[in-house]
Amino acid sequence: MNPDLKTRVKTTFGNPAWVCFTWFGMTAGVSMLATPLRFGAETITRSIALDVGRVVFAGLNKAEFVALIILLVLIRFSDRARKLWAMALVLAAILIAQGTWLLPELAARTDLIIAGIEPEPSIAHGAYSIMELTKLGLLFYMGYRSMNLLTDGRHQAR
C-alpha cells in the first residue's frame, strides 16, 4: 500500500467523525424516518407497528452501544480526547437511560396495548424523544468538530 494512502486511511479511520456520522445516520433513519412512516402505513395495525417498533428500537440500542464503544476507543487513542470526552460521556448516559429505563418501560406499554389495555399516561415517550434529539445533536456536533480538528493543521489541536 502506498505510504501516503496508508497515512490517509489511518488518519480517516482514526478520526471519531466517521463513527459519529454513521451513528447519526442509523439513529435518524430509524427514529425520524422509519418510525413515522411505519405508523402511516394503511395496512399495518397499531399493534403490529408497536411490536415491530419494539424490536427495531431494541436492535438500534444494541447497535448504538457498539458504536459508543468504538467511539470511546477512537476518542481515547486520538488527539481529540479532551475536546470530545465530556460529550461522549453524555452520549453514554443517554444510551444507558434509554436501554435500562425507557426502552423497557415503552416495551411494557406496548405489551399492554397489544393486550387491548390502554396504559396510563407516561413521560417515557417524550423523554425518549428528547434524549434522541439530544443524542443526534451531540453526534452531529462531535462529528463536525472531529472533522474540523482534522482539517485544522493535522493533529495541531490537542
- Integer Cα distance of 10 and 2 in angstroms: 12
Task: State pLDDT tens for residues 61-96.
Answer: 999 999 999 999 999 887 767 789 999 999 999 999
Q: Let me know if residue 6 belongs to a domain.
A: no
**pLDDT of 26 above 60:** yes
Q: Let me know if residue 127 belongs to a domain.
A: yes
**pLDDT of 126 above 80:** yes
Q: Let me know if residue 158 belongs to a domain.
A: no
Higher pLDDT among residues 5 and 104, named by residue: 104
Q: pLDDT band for 129, please (50, 70, 90 cuts).
A: very high
**pLDDT of 116 above 80:** yes
Q: Let me know if residue 12 belongs to a domain.
A: no
27 is in which domain, residue-wise?
A: 17-151
Global model pTM greater than 0.75: yes
How many distinct structural domains can be found in the chain? 1
Q: Let me know if residue 10 belongs to a domain.
A: no
Q: Let me know if residue 97 belongs to a domain.
A: yes
Q: pLDDT band for 150, please (50, 70, 90 cuts).
A: low
**pLDDT of 8 above 80:** no
Task: Report pLDDT for 82.
Answer: 78
Among 5-9, 112-116, 117-121, 139-143, whose mean pLDDT is lowest?
5-9
Q: Let me know if residue 7 belongs to a domain.
A: no
